[in-house]
Amino acid sequence: MNFAGEHLIRSPKHAVWDAINDPDVLRDAIPGCQELHKKSDTEFDAVVQVKVGPLKAKFKGSVRLEDIQQPHRCAIVGEGQGGVAGFAKGNAQVELIESQGATLIRYNVHAAIGGKLAQIGSRVVQGVATRLTLQFFENLVARIEPGDAGEPGPV
């Protein structure tokens, strides 16, 4: 499964980079995230609960950042086990482009799934992945974009 997209955030690139490397911000932004622990500057462990069609599963997994060119781009590599629900693993290329005080996040994701999750069907899984990605960015924007009064959002 592959998907790509981009999202504009009305904050400077350095603030966006800092936010996507902050475990507290990520914990709030990742839909269904129950736990997120930073093991090192480039590694996180997480527990995320998701619902895909009729299947509800809790995935325990790890994520690591590679090919880091701060604050411009990085690769995110992760995998998770959901017990009888199956597994998910993937990687994403993420690029931050600053333009007039805002930041465009461009991403390209490749993911593989197995087990019962794969039996649900790629259309359903693709739809859920798209919905969760959009929800992630909505949550991230709520944490880091300037408030209505021109004040910076919490980071």
Tell me the pairing of strands 55-69 and 43-52.
antiparallel
pLDDT-based confidence at 118, cuts 50/70/90?
Answer: confident
Is 42 among the domain residues? yes
Residue 154 has pLDDT above 70, yes or no: no
Q: What is the pLDDT of residue 28?
A: 92
- 106-112 contacts at long range (C-beta below 8 A, 24 or more positions apart): 106/4, 106/5, 106/6, 107/4, 107/5, 107/6, 108/2, 108/4, 109/2, 109/3, 109/4, 109/133, 110/1, 110/2, 111/1, 111/2, 112/1, 112/88
Dihedrals phi, psi of 71, to nearest 5 degrees: -100, 35
pLDDT tens digits, one per residue of 101-110? 899 999 999 8
Which CATH number do you get for residue 79?
Answer: 3.30.530.20
* Average of per-residue pLDDT values in the chain: 89
Count up the domains in the chain and report the number.
1
Q: Is 149 among the domain residues?
A: no
- Of 36, 15, 124, which is closest to residue 80 (Cα–Cα)? 36
pLDDT, position 147: 67
Amino acid found at 54:
P
Q: Tens of pLDDT along 73-102?
A: 999 999 999 998 899 999 999 999 998 889
Q: What one-letter code names the amino acid at 123?
A: R
Q: Give, in order, the Cα–Cα distances in Å from 93 to each of 69, 76, 110, 111, 123.
A: 12, 7, 9, 12, 22
pLDDT given at position 152: 44
